[in-house]
Amino acid sequence: MRTPNSCKNERGMALIIALLLLLLISAVGLGMVYMSTTETSINTNYKDTQTAFFGMRAGLEEGRDRLRANSAFPLVLPTAMPPAAGSIVYITNPAAAPDAVTPQTWNTTYFDDEYCHESFVNGGVTYRPSSTPCTSADVPVGYTTVASHSPNTGTAGALKYKWVRITLKQNGTFPNALVDPTQITPVGLASQVCWDGTLLQERVVKAMGAAFTTCADAKNAGFNVQAPPLPLITRQIPTISASMVITAAAPLTTRASPPIIHTRPGMDPADRPPVPLRPPQWYQRLPWVTLLV
């Protein structure tokens, strides 16, 4: 009588075990590749955001410096609201040719697609919510352009921002963040915003006196407000994955002294405390900086 051969019953087990081990090693290898790719993407995104953030700071610093009367490259600041002539000032910072920075021209690479999301009563452009893109009807008017004074502007080594826009500010410029929510009439929304050096906050000129139309009127009446008031600084920064548009309301002391600037980087104006770009004695206060991706 024959007994079963147990060795014959185990034939093929080595192959099955080898295939299972191969599958396990392959899974481990694929996992390591995925982790490596993810880490590379994280590092790239971090570099991208850092480039955008410090490019924003570069644009903000140039705008801040050129607001001073004793700047080597002073600006002629706006004295009227859009669409008046000279009410919008662009500082442009192109890289090497053929890079062209024309924020005032529709359908160009660096078109100012933030302007239509800022409301100016009778400003010549229809206000659109941030969820609605600007159109060809939303080109700014009354603008002037000046070249950046960065040493590398116009070269491949240009700083990573493309333009800075400076305008005055109205109470209703940002409809979801009114400076004075009590001033909601058409006149109140169109009222100029000033910087109060006593209260250290923005104030709407109509709230200081119904007869006032400019910050200079309030200042002449004895209010400790600054003139010229609160230019808005906006710049566009190209990054690897997107363009970031940063908007900053920058209060001025006077043209003879540096303005006070803080930034609050983030997606929401109220999401973080201000981060000073210079020692506190250089500043008073900047309401916010918003990054829109």
pLDDT of residue 63: 87
Q: For residue 81, tell me if it sits in a domain.
A: yes
Q: Is residue 7 part of a domain?
A: no
Q: Does 52 map to a domain?
A: yes
125 half-sphere exposure, CB direction, 13 A CA radius: 30
Q: Does residue 190 sit within a domain?
A: no
Q: Which of 98, 89, 104 is nearest to 167 (CA)?
A: 89
Give CA angle at 201 (68, 265), nearest 5°. Answer: 75
Does residue 34 lie within any of the structural domains? no
Per-residue pLDDT tens, the chain, 293 aa: give them.
555 565 556 677 788 888 888 888 888 888 888 888 888 888 888 888 888 888 888 888 888 888 887 889 998 888 899 999 999 999 999 999 999 999 999 999 899 988 999 999 888 899 999 889 999 999 999 999 999 998 899 999 998 889 988 888 999 998 998 999 999 999 999 999 988 888 888 899 999 999 999 998 999 999 998 766 556 666 666 654 444 455 554 444 333 222 323 332 333 333 333 333 333 333 333 333 333 22
215 inside domain:
no
Sign of CA dihedral 278, 177, 93, 159: positive
Which residue segment(s) compose the domain that 261 sits in?
46-168+231-292
Whole-number pLDDT of residue 256: 28
Distance CA(140)–CA(104), nearest Å, equals 6
pLDDT value of position 191: 94
User: What's the pLDDT at 287?
Assistant: 30
pLDDT for res 264? 29
Tally of domains within the chain: 1
Domain presence at residue 124: yes
pTM above threshold 0.75: no
Per-residue model confidence (pLDDT) at position 181: 94
Residue 158 falls inside a structural domain: yes
> Where does residue 118 rank: exposed (0-12), middle (13-18), buried (19+ CB within 10 A)?
buried
Which pLDDT score, from 0 to 100, does residue 217 have?
93
Q: What is the pLDDT of residue 288?
A: 31
Instruction: Give the integer Cα–Cα distance in Å for 139 and 27.
Output: 55
